[in-house]
Amino acid sequence: MTTHTPIKARDRDVILQALAAGVVPRTGLRHIQVGRAAEVGALVRDIDRIADASSGLRFVIGEYGAGKTFFLNLVRLIALERKLVTIHADLAPDRRIHATAGQARGLYAEAVRNMATRTKPEGGALASVVERFVTECMKDAEGRGVAVEKVIDERLAHLQEHIGGYDYAAVIKAYWRGSEDGDEVLKAAALRWLRGEYSTKTEARQALGVRNIIDDGDVYDALKLLSAFVREAGYAGLLVVFDEMVNLYKLQSSQARNQNYEQVLRMLNDVLQGNVGGIGFVFGGTPEFLMDTRRGLYSYQALQSRLVENAFATNGLIDLSGPVIRLQNLTPEDLLILLSNIRAVFAGGDPSKNLVPEEALTAFMEHCSRRIGEAYFRTPRNTIKAFVQFLAVLEQNPGIDWRSLLGGVDVQTDIGDIGEDAEENGDGSDAQSSDDDLATLRL
pLDDT for res 442: 31
The number of residues making up the chain comes to 443
pLDDT for res 441: 33
- On whether the CB atoms of residues 372 and 378 are closer than 8 A, the answer is no
- Got the DSSP string for 357-388? -HHHHHHHHHHHHHHH-THHHH-HHHHHHHHH
pLDDT for res 331: 80
pLDDT tens for the chain, 443 residues long, are 455 678 888 889 988 998 888 787 877 787 888 878 889 999 999 999 999 999 999 999 998 877 888 899 999 999 999 999 999 999 999 999 999 999 999 999 999 999 999 999 999 999 999 999 999 999 999 999 999 999 999 999 999 888 899 999 999 999 999 999 999 999 999 999 999 999 999 999 999 999 999 999 999 999 999 999 999 999 999 999 999 999 999 999 999 999 999 999 999 999 999 999 999 999 999 999 999 999 999 999 999 999 998 778 777 777 788 999 998 777 888 889 999 999 999 999 899 999 999 999 999 988 887 776 655 555 677 788 889 999 999 999 988 899 888 765 554 443 333 333 334 444 433 433 333 333 333 32
> How much helix, strand and coil, in percent to the nearest 5, is found in the chain?
55, 10, 35
The β-bridge partners of 284 are 60
Q: Locate the domains of the chain by residue range.
A: 36-124+236-312+319-326, 126-216, 332-441
What CATH number should be reported for the domain whose range is 36-124+236-312+319-326?
3.40.50.300
The β-bridge partners of 324 are 59
- On whether the CB atoms of residues 37 and 258 are closer than 8 A, the answer is no
Whole-structure pTM value: 0.83
- Helix (H), strand (E) at residue 338: helix 332-346
Distances in Å between the Cα of 86 and the Cα atoms of 10, 81, 222 are: 24, 11, 14
C-alpha 280: how far from its chain's center? Answer: 12
**Who contacts 286 (Cβ-Cβ below 8 Å, separation ≥6)?**
61, 62, 63, 64, 246, 249
Phi, psi for residue 199 in degrees, rounded to 5 = -100, -15
pLDDT for res 374: 58
- On whether the CB atoms of residues 374 and 355 are closer than 8 A, the answer is no
Q: What three-state secondary structure class fits 11?
A: helix
pLDDT for res 112: 98
